[in-house]
Structure 1
């Protein structure tokens, strides 16, 4: 674990790298333009509202309604959840109406009727002004071969493309006169084509309203600034006013989900105030690798949550090396109204100093509180708890107006956030960082396995791996890894295993300590061997050196890294009110630095703060508001009055939970949340307790909690599963559905995994049915959970699942817990 403030003790072997932040050099308002996604949404509800809303996503790219390129991700369908959660605009990838990749070239006469249909449907939508038409995708490679080096062939191909561009552009405008159109949407940046395209488009009055191209190579981290500057010079030379830019596909597989990689991309896009959408390399609906299942954050999600939390104006950041691949980079913001400066950095291992210059005394005073937190890489499918605060320290502003925040022992795949706020009276609580150590799989003693290299610059579209290596082919009866570890004290340790499982069902390994009796570790399925997830277990270890063995169980599992962390009791986190999402006009009071040390958010009538609270599993947690007066909390549609300092027992779903706080007049310091998800007081019903009709029946399942689940549910109005639940009190409950399904539709795409979601109509009592979407669980034997708020009356309640027109997921069991326990 990285250690930070204060910088004390012997000097490091090498001088720390330096990132300089100049708070006096404004770059303009924070735009949040680089948080977009391509096929990041697959259905209404995938990802969840609680995963979407905090990120303040400015643009997404999706296929037209009914497009054949992928089985889901239709623009009009996902627009409901996107706009509901504060989303910006939707790019409609019009050629994704076609089924093949690259798109089958049937000629412009085949394409034009499809264009007409798409535009008519979008134009009829109530939010039509929030859609952008992208008529062509990567025309330099697809249909037109504009990348040819032969000048004569290029000229012929170019002229055909420009003619078709004009035809389609005018066709769109004829149907939707106010349409916003983007292009040319090349696979990379090409000066020759853009010069010709803009010259033609200006002359023929068919200029796009948004300029788009793709940056899909590691070299983009070096070349983008030059590409951007060159493009703006072309515009200027042609007398074209600067167009809005959307780099509507960026980054490689090795970048997605990796905070230390993402910060490098986001910093350069935000600095230049362009919009940008992460590329779609895998399964739809997970925000391009940043959401686990539908609602669980990983390290990438937390990085984008930090990015969304930046307010005010961005300011100049000078990294050790500008425009260089895989180096320490950063972005920073200053909000003088909130009296906050935020810095996000990452991309390099080792030590660095964050030097913040021009720290205004009129804004911050003579001392500041510096709070440092880490968002680590947890894999594409690996959960990440609330980022740990590594340091919280009062720092004197130097005579030259600077503050230096040392970061020591940085991890290359992590991102770090530094927050500066005025320091008031008292001392902030010191951060508690438990002992932790990491051990790479490739460094273990390997029997019956093979080391593979993953996610390097030369193999940028390979999946990320810790240390760029993992150990696979652990498929022999003797296959095992022996990790030699050393712990400082006897006690309980949390063991985190980064793994991949493509067995098509939960797979096991045998874990033993120093050759003792093995215990079984079960790994849920992942997309493939290198699509990294996390498994958390605990081990008891005496002080000293030990050998932890992970040996083959019933199937092959790929191993990447293990982490050992001294267990610190039940999980807990303190969520600072001054960093919460706000509406209204609350004020910020930094007169006290005590406790979490970032001051107090003062709420008055009409103000609201929303906290993003992580839960490791579904269940009850203790929530304590630190405030000066009573607050009103809202969770899952239920409201409760909270006395200051008084504990509440609240039901949280696995992953992210949005807790809204209002008050008549109260200073809110933090929400303190602890617990591991107690199920005491919840109701639980196995699938076998349901009354089944219309062909729905129990099917054997070794990984279901009672050995069977409800299958063949739906696809008929009469096929239902009805549970009778006995509520001890009337009120709002969380209905947690344990389900599995692995429906897929192979569209023949060369690299996307076309997983499908399923829906079920859930009816509670006499209420109207509610359609709920269940994401694919990677196999029929992996059971995930989905929480649905429902209202129950005291006593018996009928809860019915069905789907009249399609198959519903298989149901293992249901649990119910009152929101206010």
Structure 2
């Protein structure tokens, strides 16, 4: 079977690597334990429900409410969005009640009243059984010297900690007898201390229900299996457990957001059936680098979405180099009820053969359809469309029961998903892969700039960069980077620029083709120079070689890589029904592999399929159901009938949109979505049209869309902004608010950026006010959007913004689009 992926990077080795999947070697039900995050949520609504629900989060770690360690991320506050989106349990980092890092050591007598307050608040919550108490965080680094070489000092410090552990655990259980406690939560795996800890905790009846430690070294990719095996052996020796394990901080900064790195971590945790939360290195509220703004997926989010889509049992995967840093790794699952096998892999460039052994003919028949998709690295703040299918092929199962999927030109920072389904009759639609090429900035011609090395194994906590290098210090009048590119034909090309902009305002560069008249490219702000975002522009090129120049504009911008892709039409994606989330008990029909190749999902009364549909911007898109009969689509609280093959015009929010499908009886192959986000028919109102009251003011700004924004809004009941909107018809609309704010609090942490959110109470007509959260936009002059479903009456209505108790964000303009638009 020939599955060829686009070539990229250095020439591949002569012999492809081999990753073997054994479908006859089950490891247990898919647990999804490794999808959690420390401070992944910052507020109710950040991240949004649309990006939280698809991840099927099993655990997160947050601070106690009112904790001074960070300005947001309170456990009880974020629990509302976490639980309503199907979240599992919340680890409460109790010592984050303190403001400093390392925590100020005011003694155990100061800590105990704080423990009482935390436990009383959590135990009173209706979902108290879904919270886990973590009494100490990295105690070996904070208040106790537990890893020194001096044995006498170690024993004294150990005994002091164990006494405090017992005191705090007893204090927790005196208030909440059913409390679930986790620990000891050291900075790493230390067997000497763990033996003493477990022996003491068992003897004194203060054994935690969940064992926790951190894996925060690049060496963890090599060492974790040994740590896990050693720990389980220790349990057996002491007659304890086996206890549930949560590695509640894992990965380096260079791993976060990078699909090819994340698959290495997740595969080893899922294989060992442990829970794990990504580390909090930067800003709260973005799932540790996997969610852009509040609702937009990046490449890392799509990897975790794939992970959340695994069902059935995981099966044994043998990589070319087990327990080795930065190598090809993978995980796989077999679901016999759905008749699907899925393999997730990545972490290495070049060529690989994925050999799937013991493919059961009773499940798949004599041939299978193999569908391969790629999730690339788009930066921490770089949007990523639905992963593109790069190959779709039918193949016979070999006599020995194996199927081999050759993958060529793997990209190191990408993850790949292989889906095997029964072949059926017919031929899957050919994959139309557009021409694309990538160009590293450090390999281009650089004038008045400097190449920097980022995110290597030796500097594991540096930020990720494509090829581990980028170009910065482009701050001179003549600074520029010249990319020599060669394209196959005349036409329009999408140019994606991975960049960083720490200037504090939207920055520009001058883009020119072959020395022609330059055009300005505007880059929104990023957290820092190396916190990657992605800017998409288009260029017109003739066939042949060209010089694309990005030269300094009004401020410096860091450049990492540019991707050039031929455009043949508006963006389009086909979402396979058999890979959607389901409700009820739909059946899977693989009698034909025509179309998307993965068969059809058969919906009956009580069944539901939910699709995660990506929109590059707020606007109208063409949506077509590939079904045998009419279905009902529900999105943003609106429902509409979709006839087979007939186009609907739906208004979608920038980022991920959850589209639910139901039907009395329909066989569904896919939901097809295309378009650039048309604004035709959208109602738009600039800040100057709002009626302002109280202290709200119209402020002039060259960065606002019409030269002004509403500022000084809120912080009192009288300070409001009211827009009068004129709806052509009654119904459900999406209200899109263009806003900016840059509230933050500096706690002096070396690596956390304590950005803060703002809220606004939005009142539409006579409806009750609704509180909406607006994430920090990195600067006061960068405008993001938040989409809120609202109901409008026909004719004039007022949309009023305010906040009685705090400042609301600055508002540039609002837009309203009827969810179901006119054809």
TM-score calculated relative to the size of structure 1: 0.99
Distance across 2 between alignment mates of 1:585 and 1:490: 49
Partner secondary structure for residue 427 of structure 1: coil
CA contact (8 A) 1:329 1:346 kept: yes
Query: Could you say which residue in structure 1 is the equivalent of 2:188?
Result: 188
Q: CA deviation at 1:13?
A: 5.6
Distance across 2 between alignment mates of 1:405 and 1:68: 52
Query: Could you say which residue in structure 2 is the equivalent of 1:98?
Result: 98
Query: Could you say which residue in structure 2 is the equivalent of 1:164?
Result: 164
Query: Could you say which residue in structure 2 is the equivalent of 1:222?
Result: 222
Distance across 2 between alignment mates of 1:773 and 1:319: 44
Q: CA deviation at 1:491?
A: 1.2
Distance across 1 between alignment mates of 2:510 and 2:764: 43
How many pairs does the alignment contain? 817
Q: CA deviation at 1:273?
A: 0.0
Deviation track 1:53-99 (CA, whole Å, cap 9, x = no partner) reads: 00000000000000000000000000000000000000000000000
Distance across 2 between alignment mates of 1:744 and 1:503: 16
Query: Could you say which residue in structure 2 is the equivalent of 1:395?
Result: 395
Query: Could you say which residue in structure 1 is the equivalent of 2:738?
Result: 738
Partner secondary structure for residue 34 of structure 1: helix
Distance across 2 between alignment mates of 1:423 and 1:105: 64
Query: Could you say which residue in structure 1 is the equivalent of 2:240?
Result: 240
Query: Could you say which residue in structure 1 is the equivalent of 2:361?
Result: 361
Distance across 2 between alignment mates of 1:565 and 1:554: 27
Distance across 1 between alignment mates of 2:13 and 2:749: 50
CA contact (8 A) 1:5 1:393 kept: no
CA contact (8 A) 2:6 2:408 kept: no
Does the alignment pair 1:49 with 2:49? Answer: yes
Query: Could you say which residue in structure 1 is the equivalent of 2:528?
Result: 528
Point out the more displaced range, 487-496 or 757-766: 487-496
Distance across 1 between alignment mates of 2:241 and 2:647: 57
Partner secondary structure for residue 306 of structure 2: helix
Distance across 1 between alignment mates of 2:6 and 2:511: 39
Partner secondary structure for residue 143 of structure 1: coil
Distance across 2 between alignment mates of 1:428 and 1:144: 62
1:198-347 alignment, distance < 5 Å: 198-347=198-347
CA contact (8 A) 1:3 1:409 kept: no
Partner secondary structure for residue 698 of structure 1: strand
Does the alignment pair 1:148 with 2:148? Answer: yes
Distance across 2 between alignment mates of 1:787 and 1:241: 47
Q: CA deviation at 1:23?
A: 0.2
Distance across 2 between alignment mates of 1:585 and 1:485: 51
Distance across 1 between alignment mates of 2:3 and 2:254: 26
Point out the more displaced range, 447-456 or 539-548: 539-548
Distance across 1 between alignment mates of 2:702 and 2:406: 51
1:12/1:35 CA distance change after superposition, 3 Å: closer
Partner secondary structure for residue 762 of structure 1: strand
Q: CA deviation at 1:3?
A: 6.6
CA contact (8 A) 2:172 2:179 kept: yes
1:545-694 alignment, distance < 5 Å: 545-694=545-694
Query: Could you say which residue in structure 2 is the equivalent of 1:788?
Result: 788
Deviation track 1:518-572 (CA, whole Å, cap 9, x = no partner) reads: 0000000000000000011111111111111100000010000011111121000
Deviation track 1:200-245 (CA, whole Å, cap 9, x = no partner) reads: 0000010000000000000000000000000001110000020000
Query: Could you say which residue in structure 1 is the equivalent of 2:59?
Result: 59
Deviation track 1:580-631 (CA, whole Å, cap 9, x = no partner) reads: 0001110000001100010000011111110000000000000000111111
Q: CA deviation at 1:12?
A: 7.2
Partner secondary structure for residue 649 of structure 1: strand
Distance across 2 between alignment mates of 1:540 and 1:797: 44
CA contact (8 A) 2:3 2:406 kept: no
Partner secondary structure for residue 458 of structure 2: helix
Partner secondary structure for residue 302 of structure 1: helix
Query: Could you say which residue in structure 1 is the equivalent of 2:350?
Result: 350
1:1-16 alignment, distance < 5 Å: 4=4, 14-16=14-16
Distance across 2 between alignment mates of 1:530 and 1:800: 38
Q: CA deviation at 1:148?
A: 1.2
Query: Could you say which residue in structure 1 is the equivalent of 2:749?
Result: 749
Partner secondary structure for residue 459 of structure 1: coil
Deviation track 1:157-208 (CA, whole Å, cap 9, x = no partner) reads: 0000000000000000000000000000000000001000000000001000
CA contact (8 A) 2:3 2:392 kept: no
Does the alignment pair 1:71 with 2:95? Answer: no
Q: CA deviation at 1:5?
A: 7.3
Q: CA deviation at 1:4?
A: 2.0
Query: Could you say which residue in structure 2 is the equivalent of 1:450?
Result: 450
Deviation track 1:437-483 (CA, whole Å, cap 9, x = no partner) reads: 11100001111110000000000000000000000000000100111
Distance across 1 between alignment mates of 2:672 and 2:495: 25
Q: CA deviation at 1:430?
A: 1.1
Partner secondary structure for residue 458 of structure 1: coil
Distance across 2 between alignment mates of 1:196 and 1:462: 35
Distance across 1 between alignment mates of 2:200 and 2:717: 56
Distance across 1 between alignment mates of 2:543 and 2:626: 38
Distance across 1 between alignment mates of 2:361 and 2:497: 47
Distance across 1 between alignment mates of 2:77 and 2:31: 26
CA contact (8 A) 2:12 2:409 kept: no
Does the alignment pair 1:798 with 2:798? Answer: yes
Query: Could you say which residue in structure 2 is the equivalent of 1:486?
Result: 486
Query: Could you say which residue in structure 2 is the equivalent of 1:135?
Result: 135
Partner secondary structure for residue 180 of structure 2: coil
Query: Could you say which residue in structure 2 is the equivalent of 1:726?
Result: 726
CA contact (8 A) 1:6 1:393 kept: no
Distance across 2 between alignment mates of 1:352 and 1:68: 49
Q: CA deviation at 1:503?
A: 0.2
Query: Could you say which residue in structure 2 is the equivalent of 1:777?
Result: 777
Distance across 1 between alignment mates of 2:42 and 2:568: 38
Q: CA deviation at 1:702?
A: 1.2
1:396-415 alignment, distance < 5 Å: 396-415=396-415
Partner secondary structure for residue 162 of structure 1: helix
Does the alignment pair 1:371 with 2:371? Answer: yes
Q: CA deviation at 1:700?
A: 1.6
Deviation track 1:729-786 (CA, whole Å, cap 9, x = no partner) reads: 0000000000000001111111100000000000011110000000000000000011
Distance across 1 between alignment mates of 2:559 and 2:277: 30
CA contact (8 A) 1:6 1:406 kept: no
Partner secondary structure for residue 380 of structure 1: coil
CA contact (8 A) 2:292 2:383 kept: yes
Q: Which segments of structure 1 move beyond 4 Å, counting only runs of 4 or more?
A: none
CA contact (8 A) 1:55 1:304 kept: yes
1:254/1:469 CA distance change after superposition, 3 Å: same
Distance across 2 between alignment mates of 1:267 and 1:157: 36
CA contact (8 A) 2:368 2:420 kept: yes
1:818/1:6 CA distance change after superposition, 3 Å: closer
* Structure 1: 5+ residue stretches without partners: none
Query: Could you say which residue in structure 2 is the equivalent of 1:88?
Result: 88
CA contact (8 A) 2:12 2:349 kept: no
Does the alignment pair 1:513 with 2:513? Answer: yes
Distance across 1 between alignment mates of 2:6 and 2:246: 41
Query: Could you say which residue in structure 1 is the equivalent of 2:499?
Result: 499
CA contact (8 A) 2:622 2:674 kept: yes
CA contact (8 A) 2:13 2:350 kept: no
Deviation track 1:713-741 (CA, whole Å, cap 9, x = no partner) reads: 00000000000000000000000000000
> What is the root-mean-square deviation of aligned Cα atoms in Å?
1.1
Partner secondary structure for residue 457 of structure 1: coil
Query: Could you say which residue in structure 2 is the equivalent of 1:760?
Result: 760
Partner secondary structure for residue 181 of structure 1: strand
